[in-house]
Amino acid sequence: MEDNVTLPAIWPMVKRAVCRRCPNCGKGHLFARYLKQVEHCANCNEQFGHIRADDGPPWLTIIIVGHILGPIMLVALPGSTLPDWMLVTIWSSLALIATMLLLPCAKGLFIAAIWRMQCAGSEK
């Protein structure tokens, strides 16, 4: 990133990143596949290949999914008459689906935050 480039405001950048778009222009894709980030934006040519989000996205995903499903389970389970095997299947499936949907958004958010703070993004 060049020093004289004006960075976008924080909230539009967060919205773009959570929608898995380039945090700079909002038009290019941030991921080539499910969690494989692009080397650079196809629209504005901003470089993202050097940024490593590492353990941040899984941590954020676990926190969010746990805080959403935990209270719902505490309310729903005591009055349930379903068999245990069905409850385990339902709740683990919901947790898996929520995790798979949220993980790319969390990774986009971390990539955008590292990019916005103009950090090196790698251990080099």
Query: Does the pLDDT of residue 1 top 70, yes or no?
Result: no
Q: What is the pLDDT of residues 104-118, one digit of tens each?
A: 999 999 999 999 988
Report whether pLDDT(2) > 70: no
- The helix, strand and coil proportions of the chain, stated in percent and rounded to the nearest 5, come to 50, 5, 45
Q: What is the pLDDT of residue 123?
A: 60
Q: What's the predicted TM-score (pTM) here? A: 0.86
> What is residue 91's three-state secondary structure?
helix
- Give the model confidence (pLDDT) of 63-98 as tens digits: 999 999 999 999 998 988 999 999 999 999 999 999
- The whole-number pLDDT of residue 6 equals 76
Report pLDDT for 5.
63
> For residue 13, which of 56, 34, 58, 44 has the smallest C-alpha distance?
44
b/e 38-77 (16+ beta carbons within 10 angstroms → b): beebeeeebebeebbbeebbeebbeeebeeebeeebeeee
Residue 93 confidence (pLDDT): 97
CA atoms within 13 A on the CB side of 5: 14
Q: What is the pLDDT of residues 4-59, one digit of tens each?
A: 567 778 899 999 999 999 999 999 999 999 999 999 999 999 999 999 998 999 99
CB-CB neighbours of 112 under 10 Å: 26
Q: What is the pLDDT of residue 8?
A: 79
Give, for 2, the enclosing helix (H) or strand (E): none
